[in-house]
Structure 1
Amino acid sequence: MFKERVLTALVLAPLMIIGIFFLPLKEFAIFIAAIATIGAWEWANIAGYQRNWSRIAYALVVFVCLYISARILKMYPEYLLGFLAVGTAWWVVAFALVKRYPGGTDLWAARPIRALLGLCVLVPMWVGFMHLKTQPHSSLLIVYVMLIVWGADTGAYFSGKKWGDTKLAPHVSPGKSWAGFWGGLATTLLIALVFGACVHTWVQPMDLHDAWRLLAITVITMVISVLGDLVESMMKRHRGIKDSSSLLPGHGGVLDRIDSMAAAVPVFAFFMLILDWGLVA
């Protein structure tokens, strides 16, 4: 299993690096849309659509929704905030669903409802990536969001392993603990401090107001990234499956790898707009 995980990571890492740093906007949009479409194929299974034709049909529906979103945002760029606001609002609803689980499943147990929730995850993710890609120093911003997710996950793993007696959401993901959450938060705050110092030194001056805005965006994004993982775990537990698919040997499915990013990216982009923070060219 470990060998499979390493080999898969060695293949995926260069692909992500090429996608983030070297693809122009249009090709990057197709790259992220392809990831979202594969994720949609997996989400269809999580939603309860087991036949291959129905999963492919759902993936095509998601792809068409991404295309429609792209056309709308090209003609009406002022709608961007609305797209991201809806995506962020979904995670507020998701928090309530996770908190109530295993209660409240009657609200979303129907397959069409779960399919609709997949759109709430995947379309805002794509929109968020596109917004970040159009920003100055876009690669740096995208990598920073990835570092937030990585920091939350890594800090949670080590602190949870050592002190994780009190469970964060025992009915959803028994492996997650409050110690892990606080460890992930501490790691993410450290990453934010290092990132802010690097930006101040090499990219642009940052005053105290800039630092507080960056810190606020980082903390909110970190919390939502944890929620993204919990939501997928809840959906898989309800469906009775361990992984979203077996596409990535040793890692499960694409959704198992991007669940936290799918939550983090649109929220990060949304609060960049709301708090008027960003990097200048």
Structure 2
Amino acid sequence: MLAQRVVTALVLLPLLLALVWYAPTPVLYGVLALVGLLMAWEWTGLMGWAAKGRRWAYTAACGLLLALAWLAPGRDILLPVLLGAAVLWWIFAVSLFPGFPDNLSRRQTSGLPMALLGLLLTVSTLLSLAALHATGPLKLLFFLFIVFAADTGAYFAGRRFGKRKLAPNISPGKTVEGAIGGLLLAGVWALLAGIPIFAPAGAVQAALLLLLTMIVAAVSIVGDLTESMFKRVAGIKDSGNILPGHGGILDRVDSILAAAPVMVLGLLATGL
């Protein structure tokens, strides 16, 4: 399993870096939209939709929305509205953690609200990534590595220091100490890379960049826990099997789903 994970990462990471660095933003969005179709298909699995017709229809609807969102004349006006709605969901998602699993049932994750949520999160996330890329590939890479840093820091800190469970009913392996380690590593990343990339004007903006980075890292953990929660309700281990050793697309991007809208809204709010 570990060997599969490493091989998959070694194949995908250079492709991702090349896409971000060399592709123009419309091409990047087009590739991301294709990934979004896979995400939509896997989301129907979280909803427990077994009928292939329903799954194909939902995936097609997601593709149509992704195209319309990109081609919409008022995309710059639409984006903050979509991001705001997504961020409100992630704030609400945190409130579900303490009472899980008694407060969430299969019926609640198989209906229209869950279907609409999947469309909102997919479209808002992919538009966020494209918006970041349009301001410069380095800014998008900086964001992606916030998520990687939070995940890596949480893994190693959790293995070394982890004692207190963060959300035992959702993800028993995650610890409070691991989460703190992830936040700290993300903070170090902000200081080492964020300052040169964003060139904040003065100490206040530098502090805002550090704060935003830590918030984005924290929200990435919320995204991970939320997908784990939905998978437990659905009774599945992975959202899919397209990535050997990693599971499905959603298993790899759950943190990004939560973090990307927060990152873009934060940048808009702080003027960074």
| Superposition TM-score tier, normalisation by shorter sequence | over 0.9
Letter matched to residue 231 of structure 1: T
Question: What residue number does 1:234 align with?
Answer: 229
> Is the contact between residue 195 and residue 206 of structure 2 (CA under 8 Å) also seen in structure 1?
no
Say whether 1:41 aligns with 2:55: no
Query: Are 1:155 and 2:153 counterparts?
Result: yes
> 1:243-271 CA distances to partner (integer Å, 9 max, x unpaired)?
00111111101111111112111110011
Contact between 1:46 and 1:239, CA under 8 Å: does it hold in 2? yes
Is 1:262 the counterpart of 2:257? The answer is yes
Q: TM-score, normalised by structure 1?
A: 0.91
| 2:221 and 2:255 in contact (8 A); partners too | yes
**CA distance in 2 between partners of 1:2 and 1:204 (Å):** 38
Quote the residue 1:164 is aligned against.
162
- Change in Cα spacing, 1:196 to 1:247, as seen in structure 2 (3 Å) is closer
Task: Classify 1:209/1:4 alpha carbon distance in 2 versus 1 (closer, same or farther; 3 Å).
Answer: same
Q: Segments of 4+ in structure 1 off by > 4 A?
A: none
Aligned to 1:105, the other structure's residue is in SS state: coil
Structure 1 residue 205 displacement after superposition: 5.8
Corresponding residue for 1:68? Answer: 68
Give the Cα–Cα distance (whole angstroms) in 2 for the partners of residues 132 and 102 of structure 1: 36
Unpaired segments of 5 or more residues in structure 1? Answer: none
The verdict on how the C-alpha distance between 1:76 and 1:115 changes in structure 2, with shifts beyond 3 A counting, is: closer
Partner of 1:188 in structure 2? 186
Query: RMSD of the TM alignment (CA)?
Result: 1.7
Gaps of 5+ in 2: none
The number of residues matched between the two structures is: 271
1:30 and 2:30 correspond: yes
Contact map agreement 1:156 1:179 (CA 8 A) in 2: yes
CA deviation vs aligned residue, 1:185-238 (integer Å, no higher than 9, x gap)? 111111111114433xxx746410120110121111111100010010000011
- Determine the structure 1 residue equivalent to 2:209: 214
- Residue identity over aligned pairs, in percent, reads 36
Deviates more, 1:154-163 or 1:100-109: 100-109
Normalised TM-score (structure 2): 0.94
Whether the 8 Å CA contact 1:151–1:187 is kept in 2: the answer is yes
Contact 1:83 1:127 in 2 (8 A): no
Please state whether the residue corresponding to 1:108 is helix, strand or coil.
helix
Equivalent residue runs for 1:36-115 within 5 Å: 36-72=36-72, 74-106=73-105, 108-115=108-115
2:195, 2:116 → 1: CA distance? 41
